[in-house]
Amino acid sequence: MRPSSGAPSLSDVSQEEVPAPIGMSPLLTLPSMDADRERIEDAMHAAVVTPDSYLNEIASHLIVAGGKRLRPVLAVAGAQIFGSVASNDVVRGGVACELVHLGSLYHDDVMDEADTRRGVETVNAKWGNLQAILAGDFLLSRASEIAASLGTEVAGLLARTIGWLVEGEMEQLRHTYDPSRAESSYLRSIHGKTASLYGTAARVGGIVAGHDRPVVDALTAYGNAYGTVFQIVDDILDITATDAQLGKPAGHDMVEGVYTLPVLRTLALDSPASAELADLLGSPLDAAAQDKALAIVRSNPGLASAVDTAREYVDLAEACCDDFPDSDATEALRAAPMALLASVPVPA
Ligand code: GRG
């Protein structure tokens, strides 16, 4: 999708206009969320208990290491838009989504041969690839068990969402080191690998809370749009943030051959910068080529154009909240997508 005319530019995303960066998401600071997060933590740990202490340790490794738990938080917030406290079943439904996320991270770290995640050694680095794959499978099995206990609709939805994650990741893999990757491939991939699980988490919150179908559908659309903002922002930060802020070298996606929206938009420019970037891409980059490619994307309008698109999905997510009742949860949901976009640094 190209940005529509009149869409805000990067410089429109001022710090005054936006509430807070991702760590301070309004979803995480909902008045009831402290108690809810305690229930989420308890349910996360309970979900991976097994008599096998070796498996138990490996399966809980990244849970202990932290994480924002955004998927259960979204399920809880979606359940609470009418003002009532989310049930324990809503919490468990959100936890099932978070366990799918976690399982996918175990597998992703094997695929990427990653050494660290959440500030600790990855499971593959600490125990090995085979252990990481099996423990990831175990997390998916526990997610499925929880989903099944919440009824066939939730079980079917979670199963389908796992398929969407795999499809999204496969789409990305198919176009690795492909500078002619279509933007539709990028959007399809991020919908599958990231947005769909946010959509499912919000939907599960609505289904288990017993909301009416139109509300459940609006929550799903919200989660999908929120997740799309999340991934586009993540991809922009990979270009704009410093190595220190990222905890890994900036431009990592480009080095790995994953050409994301700011890169594709730069390649699509009718300017010498596009040809210069295309010359560099298509195969692994050495350090000098990485710096050059980063400098090109950072200094050309493809970056602001990607921010414009993220802003369009922010608008979409906000609009999904229009028919929700006035409540703390609705307010937090409405503010959350723009808070994500606020984590993109504003250029001087
Ligand atoms: C086996 C379910 C399954 C999938 C296999 C590997 C794969 C296919 C999918 C992984 C896709 C992937 C890594 C998507 C990105 C996910 C993402 C948005 C990560 C960051 O999420 P945060 O910020 O992380 O919520 P924390 O650490 O806070 O949980």
Give me the mean pLDDT over the 40-53 stretch: 96
Mean pLDDT of the chain: 91
Q: Say how many Å lie between the CA of residue 5 and the centre of ligand 1.
A: 33
pLDDT in the model for residue 7: 29
pLDDT in the model for residue 237: 94
Mutate to test the pocket of ligand 1, among 74, 108, 123, 237 (most ligand atoms within 8 A of CB): 108
Give me the mean pLDDT over the 271-295 stretch: 95
Q: Say how many Å lie between the CA of residue 194 and the centre of ligand 1.
A: 7
Q: Is 289 in the pocket of ligand 1 (CB under 6 A)?
A: no
What is the C-alpha separation between 101 and 204, in angstroms, rounded? Answer: 15
Residue in 50, 209, 207 with CA at minimum distance from that of residue 139: 50
Give the DSSP letter string of 39-51: HHHHHHHHHT--S
Q: Is 166 in the pocket of ligand 1 (CB under 6 A)?
A: yes
Give me the mean pLDDT over the 262-286 stretch: 96
Highest mean pLDDT range out of 10-19, 28-37, 115-124? 115-124
Dihedral pair phi/psi, residue 121, rounded to 5°: -60, 140
Say what the pTM is: 0.92
Confidence grade of residue 16 (pLDDT, cut at 50, 70, 90)? very low
Give me the mean pLDDT over the 49-72 stretch: 96
Report whether pLDDT(20) > 70: no
pLDDT in the model for residue 248: 72
Report whether pLDDT(206) > 60: yes
Q: Say how many Å lie between the CA of residue 2 and the centre of ligand 1.
A: 26
What is the C-alpha separation between 71 and 86, in angstroms, rounded? Answer: 14
Task: Tell the residue nearest (CA) to atom 23 of ligand 1.
Answer: 68
Helices (H), the chain: 33-47, 53-65, 70-79, 88-112, 123-126, 129-149, 152-174, 183-190, 196-209, 213-240, 243-246, 252-255, 261-267, 272-280, 287-298, 302-320, 328-341
Give the bridge partners for 207, in sequence order. none
* 79: three-class secondary structure by DSSP: helix
Q: Say how many Å lie between the CA of residue 271 and the centre of ligand 1.
A: 35
142-183, pLDDT tens digit by residue? 999 999 999 999 999 999 999 999 999 999 999 999 999 999
211-268, pLDDT tens digit by residue? 999 999 999 999 999 999 999 999 999 999 877 777 777 888 999 999 999 999 999 9
Report whether pLDDT(303) > 60: yes
pLDDT in the model for residue 243: 76
What is the C-alpha separation between 74 and 332, in angstroms, rounded? Answer: 10
* 120: three-class secondary structure by DSSP: strand
Ligand 1: atom nearest CA of 162 is 2
Confidence grade of residue 12 (pLDDT, cut at 50, 70, 90)? very low
pLDDT in the model for residue 24: 63
Q: Is 205 in the pocket of ligand 1 (CB under 6 A)?
A: no
Q: Is 70 in the pocket of ligand 1 (CB under 6 A)?
A: yes
